[in-house]
Chains A and B, each alone.
Chain A
Amino acid sequence: MKPALLFLAVAALSAQDANWTTYHGNHSSTHHSTLTQITPQNAKDLELKWTFQAQSLEKFETTPLVVDGVMYITEAPNTVVAIDAVTGREFWIYEHKNPDVTYPCCGKVNRGLAIHNKTLYMGTLDGKLVAVDAITGQLRWETVVADYRKGYALTHAPLVIKDKVLIGTAGGELGIRGYLAAYDAKTGSEIWRFRTIPEPGEPGNETWGNGSWKYGGGPIWLTGSYDPRLNLTYWGIGNAGPDWNAKVRPGDNLYTSSVVALDADTGKLKWHFQFTPHDEWDWDAVQTPVLVDRVWRGLPRKLMLWANRNGYFYLLDRTTGEFLQGTPFVKLDWSKGLDDKGRPIRNPGKSPSPQGTVIYPGVQGGTNWFAPSYSPKTDLFYLNVWDDYSSIYFAWDQDYEQGKWYAGGGIKADVQSTRRDRLARRHPDSGYGAVRALNPSTGAKVWEYKMTDVSDGGIVTTAGNVLFTGNREGNFFALDATNGKLLWNIYLGGQTAASPVTYLVNGKQRVSIAVGHTLYTFGLRE
């Protein structure tokens, strides 16, 4: 490369990486930043720069966007705030009014925004996609994506691809039939819609016995990824419904608990891969599709790395969906292994039952929606795991009623789904959390940082070889990405249920994270 071209490339990279412009940080969803100011050597000098106190007492699951010194966050349920990234002072607040009763399964949460052409996009609990002027905070348009009275809700950050805004529907515990839809970014008019459950006459509908496709779930509640060269967008599809009483929906139940690759212009299905056929455990495939180009078995491949809630780590070819490799990354007993197509070989007796069945992993899975990271510097895949952890799974009969809970069973587990109780009340044999680094080719553990409690926090890594994450204990910390050694820790006193972001303000690297009901921003002592 000629020197002038090299300079241009570096300048372009710097402008991109000074900001955090999408939910996952980039379209490949690596949650990796090329910033290098914070290093393993100076991370001990991190200090608090400012905080932003949310007014909402709901879970604070926002992952901020940062564009040229302005940070944009959501407060639950559906408030957008523009903040000065230098001082933490707010510029404006836009509040979307929801009806008194909406139907989110698991808290009135929102995970963040998309931005395009000075417009912010947010999904709402009452099923709307809203567009807000990023300069003034004024509403530009809103459009109805789904009828919330039928159990639909929008909780994840939208994804902008070219001139379209993509958003999917949550509601896997309320008998929805999920979909992903694309809207014109300027007007809000719908361009295409992909149903996660095929209707009669479409391929895949035969995987739903007894007419069960009508209320079969298949929600989408986490942002997908995009490969511009293949023009494919990848989305993880959630659980089949009813969650635990699977006998009423015989078959594989496509495309629940799958990843789908869609043409970004038309929404047409290019390929799918189902991690958990006939899911009986609520193991949504709602994890981050991490897109990585690297050599595998001697050849350069376009890969997808996927640590699934069902306890297996998968390596897929993202051009074709071909299964390349799968390895358990936590203790699991529901399956003996994967066949050569990646289909799990089930262990008998590991279904939910009226009397309760103990199954590993527990209902939150070996990992869940919180973001993993891939660093090209270390060539490692990082994730928060819940290991040596089980639940007792119950199943019982239940009829569908619109707007009512439709899970067909229940769960008991020592490790609760959200932070609520003191850790001393939990049996020490009930599992633990760890930050783990895996070899992306084999899924083998390279190192781990073991914690006393589990984490619902995402991970970000940097080209400075620093890893940031938080956990349920209230700790937010930095590890050396090469070996997992603790570099810095601060006790923030609340649960992390979001991903950190890193960016530059006035040329200085910052790290921000939502913890408890506060957004914290850290930087090096100056």
Chain B
Amino acid sequence: MNSRFLFSLLCAGGLWAQHSETALTNPFRTPDDRARGGAFFRSQCASCHGIDGKGGASGPNLAAGNFRHASNDEGLFRVITKGVAGTSMPGFSMNGREIWQIVAFIRGLNTGRAAGATPGDARAGEQLFQSNRCLQCHWLNGAGSSLGLDLSSVATRLTAIELRQALIDPSAEVAPEYWIWTAVTKDGQKLRGSRFNEDTFSLQILDSAGRLRSVAKADLREQTLDRRSPMPSFKDKLSETQLNDLVSYLNTLQGAAK
């Protein structure tokens, strides 16, 4: 028995509760481990999380690189073995090595996202980011506005190709939560903002003044959702070189170091 395997069995065998000060890292991360983890993922996890890991009917997206119930490999191991209370996620009784291999596979779903071809100059792109006043709407590492997407770790979620597409044709694929909501109240007041949440009786919005507020549907005369993005297209505003530069800069935005 090699030492890595012994270690994994100990982890699965109940000594797990004795937390050390530093998080455990995955001892099984070779390409072969990832491949085996992929096979386990396909048979045991894909029914809920999707065969590509991007989420299914009852399991969240695991390919974005961040996880609701885990912040590191140790956390992923814990979630797979113990499950998540109050959700459909059960604890799995696989051996430790198999679970670490699934962790390796899940981690691999996100690698390479930021590694797309970026032929531009990131420093020039950062200047374009400033001169085009992107922070009027976007948030970046503690500054800017909350109206648009938080770009602090955008490179972990979108590939270079997707970033470029978002700059050229921002309305091509806008997530529903970013659609612009407008309404007129029964007393004639006009409202505009982003729809954060909704139920049968009310809406929770971020209004155009940057305030969070609830609106009763019974008070509205009409309401509409504009499925276009409020972000302008940069297709004709930036040259091909400038677009490459800006994408290269955005591709450096990996979030705070952990």
A418-B58 CB under 8 A given contacts A405-B44, A473-B200: yes
What's the least CB distance linking B159 to chain A, in Å?
20
Majority secondary structure of chain B interface residues (helix, strand, loop or mixed): loop
Contact of A425 with B by CB under 8 A = yes
- Chain B residues within 8 Å of A100, by CB: 91
Cβ contact of A473, chosen from B58, B85, B199, cutoff 8 A: B199
Whether A428 is near chain B, meaning CB under 8 Å from some CB there, is yes
Q: Which of A30-88 contact B (CB under 8 A)?
A: 56-59
**Is residue B116 contacting chain A, with contact meaning CB distance below 8 A?**
no
Distance of A197 Cα from B199 Cα, bound (Å): 42
Contacting residue for B176 out of A413, A416, A425, CB 8 A: A425
**A8 an interface residue at 8 Å Cβ cutoff?**
no
Proximity bits, B21-46, A CB within 8 Å = 1, else 0: 00000000000000000000011101
Across the interface, B47 reaches (CB within 8 A) one of A411, A425, A489, A491, namely A411
Contact B43 A398 (CB under 8 A): yes
- Of chain B, the residue at the smallest CB distance from A149 is B93
CA distance A379 to B62 in the complex (A): 48
CA distance A452 to B176 in the complex (A): 15
- Is A268 interfacial (CB 8 A cutoff)? no
| A213 in contact (CB, < 8 A) | no
Answer yes or no: A250 CB below 8 A from chain B CBs: no
Contact B86 A58 (CB under 8 A): yes
Known: A100-B91, A420-B60, A453-B199. A410 touches B86 (CB 8 A): no
A419: min CB distance to chain B, Å:
10
Q: Which residues of A contact B172 (CB under 8 A)?
A: none
B-contact bits for A440-474, CB 8 A (1 contact / 0 none): 00000000001111000000000000000001011
Pair B87/A428 contact, Cβ less than 8 Å = no
Selected contact of B51 from candidates A394, A425, A517, CB within 8 Å: A394
Q: In this complex, what residue of A is CB-closest to B46? A: A410
- Report A385-401 residues with CB < 8 Å from chain B CB: 391, 394, 396, 398-399
**Given the known A-B contacts A101-B91, A394-B51, are A427 and B43 also in contact in the complex, defined by CB atoms under 8 Å?**
no
Measured CB to CB, the closest approach of chain A to B65, in angstroms, equals 18
State the Cβ distance, B51 to closest chain A Cβ, in Å. Answer: 6
Once A362-B57, A424-B198, A489-B201 are accepted as A-B contacts, the answer to whether A103 and B90 lie under 8 Å apart by CB is yes
The main secondary structure of chain A at its interface with chain B is: loop
Does chain A have a CB within 8 A of B230? no
**Contacts A412-B57, A420-B60, A453-B199; is A407 near B47 (CB within 8 Å)?**
yes
| A104 touches B (CB below 8 Å) | yes
Nearest CB of chain A from residue B9's CB, rounded to whole Å: 15
Q: Is B169 an interface residue (CB 8 A)?
A: no
**For B49, what are the chain A residues with a Cβ–Cβ distance below 8 Å?**
410
* Structural contact, B57 and A420, CB atoms closer than 8 A: no
- Chain B residues, CB < 8 A from A229: none
Interface string of B138-177 (1 = CB under 8 A from A): 0000000000000000000000000000000000000111
Of A103, A410, A420, the most chain B CB neighbours within 10 A belong to A410
Q: Does B75 contact A (CB under 8 A)?
A: no
- Size category of the B interface is 20 to 34
Most-contacted residue by chain A among B43, B47, B58 (CB, 10 A): B47
- Docked Cα-Cα span, A371 to B92, in Å, equals 31
Within A253-311, which residues are at the interface with B (CB < 8 Å)? Answer: none
Contact A426 B176 (CB under 8 A): yes
Tell me the smallest distance from the CB of A475 to a CB of chain B, in Å: 6
- Across the interface, do B196 and A424 meet the contact criterion of CB distance under 8 Å? yes
Using Cβ atoms and an 8 Å threshold, which residues of chain B touch A107? 86-88, 90
Q: Is B225 an interface residue (CB 8 A)?
A: yes
A363→B48 CA distance, assembly (Å)? 11
CB of B38, distance to nearest CB on chain A (Å): 13
Query: In the complex the two chains form, is B56's CB within 8 Å of A410's CB?
Result: yes
Interface residues on A, range: 35 or more
Q: State A413–B175 Cα separation when bound (angstroms).
A: 15
**Within the assembled complex, what's the spacing in Å between the Cα atoms of A491 and B176?**
24
A423 touches B58 (CB 8 A): no
Given known contacts A404-B43, A417-B57, A410 and B90 CB-to-CB distance under 8 angstroms:
no
User: Taking A101-B93, A173-B47, A473-B199 as contacts, is the C-beta distance between A422 and B56 under 8 angstroms?
Assistant: no
Asked whether A211 is an interface residue with its Cβ less than 8 Å from the other chain, the reply is: no
Judge whether A403 is part of the interface by a CB distance below 8 angstroms. yes
Given A363-B57, A396-B42, A405-B43; A410-B50 close (CB under 8 Å): yes
B176 touches A427 (CB 8 A): yes
A423 B43 Cβ-Cβ under 8 A: no
| A106 at interface by CB-CB < 8 Å | yes
Chain B proximity of A243: nearest CB distance (Å): 8
Q: Type the 1/0 row for B87-119, where 1 means its CB is closer than 8 Å to any CB of A.
A: 110111100000000000000000000000000
B127 CB-CB contact with A under 8 Å: no
List chain A residues, Cβ under 8 A from B60. Answer: 420
Please determine whether A424 and B56 come into contact, CB atoms closer than 8 angstroms: no
Find chain B residues with CB under 8 A from A57 CB: 85-86
Report Cα–Cα, A404/B199, bound state, in Å: 38
Q: How far is the CA of A452 from the CA of B197 in the complex (A)?
A: 11
In the complex, A491→B197 CA distance in Å? 14
Contact across chains for B44 and A474 when beta carbons are under 8 A apart: no
Which residues in chain A, 209-261, are within 8 Å of chain B measured between CB atoms?
A: 243
Alpha-carbon distance between A424 and B198 when the two chains are bound, in angstroms: 6
Contact of A413 among B42, B43, B57, B86 (CB under 8 A): B57
CB of A409 closer than 8 Å to a CB of B = yes
Nearest-neighbour CB distance to chain B for A392, whole angstroms, equals: 9
- Closest residue of A by beta carbon distance from B85: A57
Q: Is there an interface contact between A417 and B58, defined as CB atoms closer than 8 Å?
A: yes
Complex CA distance for A215 and B88, rounded to whole angstroms: 22
Alpha-carbon separation in the docked complex, A409 to B50 (Å): 9
Chain B nearest CB from A387 CB (Å) reads: 15
A-B pairs, top 8 by smallest CB distance, nearest first, are: A417-B58, A473-B199, A411-B57, A57-B85, A413-B57, A101-B93, A407-B47, A410-B47
Q: List 28 A-B contacts (CB under 8 A).
A: A57-B85, A58-B85, A101-B91, A101-B92, A108-B85, A362-B57, A364-B57, A396-B46, A396-B51, A410-B51, A411-B57, A413-B56, A413-B57, A416-B58, A417-B57, A418-B58, A422-B196, A423-B197, A423-B198, A423-B199, A424-B195, A424-B198, A426-B176, A427-B176, A428-B225, A450-B200, A451-B199, A451-B200
Known: A362-B57, A363-B57, A420-B60; 6 extra A-B contacts, CB below 8 A, are A59-B86, A396-B51, A409-B47, A411-B57, A412-B56, A417-B58
Residue ranges of A at the interface with B (Cβ–Cβ < 8 Å): 56-59, 100-101, 103-108, 173, 243, 362-364, 391, 394, 396, 398-399, 403-405, 407, 409-413, 415-418, 420, 422-428, 450-453, 471, 473-475, 489, 491, 517
